[in-house]
Amino acid sequence: MTRTKVTADPRLCAVAAAQGRADQPDALFTALDEAVKSAIGHKLFTILTYDGDSGEAARVYSNLPGPYPTGGRKRLAPGPWTEAVLDRGEAYIGRTRDDLRKVFSDHELIASLGCASVLNMPVRWRGRTLGSLNLLHEAGWYAEDDVAACLPFAQLTLPALLAPADL
């Protein structure tokens, strides 16, 4: 009997290996940043956590800490975006600057960074969205096939979003 060999994606392997390092969550977030940039592409990459009780999002990682520092918090208003991404756990793709203007209050800052499209990929556990990977790039960059490509990276973020900081 012959067996078809499966080839592991080196980007996914690098992210998985980073989970074992002691310098968490920085090692994992940096590996995710590099892997997602290589696999899908981005100019701005952030990771947010969501607190369903307070309705707030907190930025736990940013590849551009000047305009988007970690620790930034914002209250999320109910609407179509929060219903899709947070409630139903669906990825959101905004393809144009106008799409971003409709959803994000900081759309002018996003545009100033040369970004006009977004992929917000939820990180889910037990039917709840705990956070998201947020990839932003030039107009028209993201498409539906990027959602499937981003899903394993998003879910590999889960331990860092669940683990207590002192663990």
- Domain assignment present for 68: yes
Q: Closest Cα to residue 153, out of 129, 126, 130, 121?
A: 121
- Domain assignment present for 146: yes
- Domain assignment present for 2: no
- Domain assignment present for 66: yes
* CATH number, domain with residue 51: 3.30.450.40
pLDDT of residue 2: 86
Strands (E), the chain: 44-51, 56-62, 73-75, 92-94, 117-125, 128-137
pLDDT of residue 85: 93
pTM, entire model? 0.93
The answer to whether 85 and 91 have CB atoms below 8 angstroms apart is yes
Domains contained in the chain, number:
1
- Domain assignment present for 142: yes
Which domain, by its residues, includes 142? 11-162
Degrees (nearest 5) of the Cα angle 90, 82, 122?
40
- Domain assignment present for 167: no
Q: Tokens for 20?
A: 């074992």
Q: Could you state, in chain order, the average pLDDT of each consecutive group of 10 residues for the chain (167 residues)?
A: 89 96 96 98 97 90 96 85 92 96 93 97 96 97 97 96 70
Q: How far is CA 100 from CA 34, 92, 106, 112, in A?
A: 24, 11, 9, 13
pLDDT of residue 132: 97
